[in-house]
Chain A
Amino acid sequence: MSNPDWFLATDRQAAMAAFEKLLASGGCLALCGMPDAGHHAFVRRLRAEVEGGGRPAISSSSVETSAVVKRSLLDFWKQASAPVPKDVIPRWRIPGTALPLHEVVDGVATALRSSKPDAVLFLELPDRFDRLQKPEMTAIVDLSNQSGCPLVVTSLASVSAWSSLTGCEAVRLTDFTREDITEVMLTQPRVHGRRLEEVTAERDGIMNGKAKIPPEEAYVLLKAWGEHGS
């Protein structure tokens, strides 16, 4: 059976290499890009890699209030904690946004170390409303260090903002070129046996005369192209 998310495999060599390194040695990886950089779609691809390898993937993002970092970390905490049996009274109080950020980080790290030490964490766009304060960025990196779990954070901030933090590597999610698009199209059975000129013409239709295309647009147009021919 073909992979329904094949279009997400558009070339991301630098990001994929950084991710492989992250899985092997831990730490924090920031994936930076414009709002249309396809952050979530790329996380979907990375999650599939993680889960395919038999490791748990824990994602979090939040839009309903402004307390994004803390709320997302609390969500990690909830997901990392083993469910309490119905006949057992929980020993600790329910963590909430009133807890200082460093205590939230300690709590999540402890929960992860005890229940899901091999998990990979994905924190999505904590800066979608407002740029992060440095202590918030530091807390995110600290969580990966304290828990020992690799952490991927997607961000609208620049690569330099994240890579200045110790223990954090940052990669930019750049736009896709014609070559990137052609390469992923060529992986699809529908082009087998067809002339390259035909594929190139379809690729040019997707690119609409542009040399580069924003990732989110590329993913959508490729998926539509795939479904058109199926």
Chain B
Amino acid sequence: MAPSSVRDGSADKDERGPIVTAVCEVAKPMTVRAAWLLSTAVSLERHDFEDLLSGLWSEEAGHAEAALEILEWPFVEETVDGYRMSESSAHAFRRNFLAEDEFRFRQAHQMLAELERSRDAGDDADRAWFGRGRYAFYLAGYDQEGAAQIFGDNFADPPLLNPTSARMWLSWLAIQQSDLLGEVPRVIEFFHGFRSYVKGAYREARRSFDSVVSAGEPDAYHALATHFAGLLRRGDEPARGQELLRGSVQLSGELELVENEIMARNSLVTALISDRSVSDLGEAAELSRLNLERALLTENPHLIYWCRTTFALGQWAYLTDRHSRVGDEAREAAPELVRELESVVTEAFSTEVETALQAANMGASILRDVGSYSASLELLDRVTSRLPEIEALPPQPLERLTKTTRSLRKHLSKEQLALASEVSARLQAEAERTTSGAGPDRR
């Protein structure tokens, strides 16, 4: 449902905003209706636009002319996917549509949802995922709970390729329906939290996720938000962070959110390792083993690579008490762990570069810990010489590799030092090449 000021149909000039008011003053009624319809769509092909317009106002005439006229207004964009209205204008027209003709507002969303459902994604899982996102966007117009459910489920199960970017797109869609999904406020709060998290605005992200968690609804949003809220407490409230991560693992298991269950457990492993107050890392080692078993059942290469890496991390942290002592048991385990990590590097390099670089760093660290300094440097050399092949590199693994390279220096010969400097220079160059500098414009 909409806010009451919009719902009661009393939208006056001020409530409509200057853009809607201006169009309403000069355009024919059917042209305003065309604007209403276009404001509710992610994008619309011209023929669908006309068909839907005549379907919604079948008793009236002038649909084709109105569809043409509205395209002349400067808020209409032409995209590869069809026509759409710019976000700021669409928001105002959507509110006006709902205020003036709630019945057709909902009908328009139903028709658009049907149109979306009729589009055949074939066997393309990614296409189907984006289709479900658009379907949820339209569903928000007449079934907010249903839309919230699909948005949440889709978020929990993103495409394998560029999941973060896909989730940012989904968040963008959900946030555009803030007015409608306002009845399920946790949903909007969650998506705001995610966008803040990706942009590195961690304080805002934490506030949003905490707000979702505090509602206490045991659903996908809660499972996902507890994971993020736990991750964001690693620095200042580690015990509370671990508690949240355990909650996320448990709820995700109950809800069969397999990916989040595994990712949250993964986060718990790394949280336990980084929390110096945790003296026995047996639990971290055991959780990393369990997680690898679970990941292997999913056949999701992204999760499997990730869990193979964390498994090695968990075992090594346990065996060496966080790299502080290398006993016989650790020395015995090292070759197998390094082999495993090297194979992750080879298999994942072109598709899962972040995981591949984490694995390379872990492998180089193990080799350094057991005193195989030149083998460690060779691994770093091999991996960094391939970095220019990769379009987008995440900054954190580059920083870790730089740190590991630096930690080797005191153990290296003069010749090896030259190679280490070369490795460091490559890492520096790659960090500069890929650092994202696209901050938002400000008024």
Q: Which of B75, B77, B166, B436 contacts A220 (CB 8 A)?
A: B75
Q: Is the pair B439, A61 in contact by a Cβ cutoff of 8 Å?
A: no
A residues near B87, Cβ cutoff 8 Å: 35, 128
Which of A17-25, A38-46, A189-197 forms part of the interface with chain B? A38-46
B residues near A66, Cβ cutoff 8 Å: 130, 162, 165-166, 168-169
| Distance in angstroms between the alpha carbons of A130 and B27 in the assembled complex | 34
Which of A143-151, A154-162, A179-187 forms part of the interface with chain B? A154-162
Q: Is the pair A129, B440 in contact by a Cβ cutoff of 8 Å?
A: no
Name B's interface SS: mixed
Residue of A nearest to B130 (CB): A65
Indicate if A102 sits at the interface (CB-CB under 8 A): yes
Q: Which of A35, A63, A223 contacts B88 (CB 8 A)?
A: A35
A residues near B165, Cβ cutoff 8 Å: 66-67, 129-130
Indicate if B438 sits at the interface (CB-CB under 8 A): yes
B residues near A64, Cβ cutoff 8 Å: 42-43, 80-81, 130, 134
Contact status of A132 and B438, CB under 8 A, knowing A64-B130, A220-B89: yes
Q: How far is the CB of A83 from chain B (nearest CB, A)?
A: 18
B residues near A41, Cβ cutoff 8 Å: 74-75
Q: Is the pair B74, A134 in contact by a Cβ cutoff of 8 Å?
A: no
Indicate if B279 sits at the interface (CB-CB under 8 A): no
Q: How far is the CB of A24 from chain B (nearest CB, A)?
A: 26
Interface residue tally on B, bucketed by range: 35 or more
Indicate if B60 sits at the interface (CB-CB under 8 A): no
The contact string, 1 if C-beta is below 8 Å from chain A, for chain B 377-419, is 0000000000000011000000000000000000000000000
| Distance in angstroms between the alpha carbons of A195 and B78 in the assembled complex | 39
Q: Is the pair A216, B441 in contact by a Cβ cutoff of 8 Å?
A: no
| Distance in angstroms between the alpha carbons of A127 and B134 in the assembled complex | 19
Indicate if A204 sits at the interface (CB-CB under 8 A): no
The 8 closest A-B pairs by CB, nearest first: A66-B169, A224-B22, A41-B74, A130-B168, A219-B74, A157-B438, A131-B438, A36-B88
The 19 listed contacts between A and B (C-beta, < 8 Å) are A34-B442, A36-B86, A40-B77, A62-B79, A66-B165, A100-B391, A130-B165, A130-B168, A131-B436, A133-B434, A134-B437, A135-B391, A155-B438, A161-B438, A220-B19, A220-B74, A224-B23, A224-B25, A228-B26
What would 9 more interface pairs be, CB under 8 Å, given A129-B165, A138-B433?
A35-B88, A36-B88, A66-B130, A130-B169, A133-B392, A135-B434, A137-B438, A159-B441, A216-B19
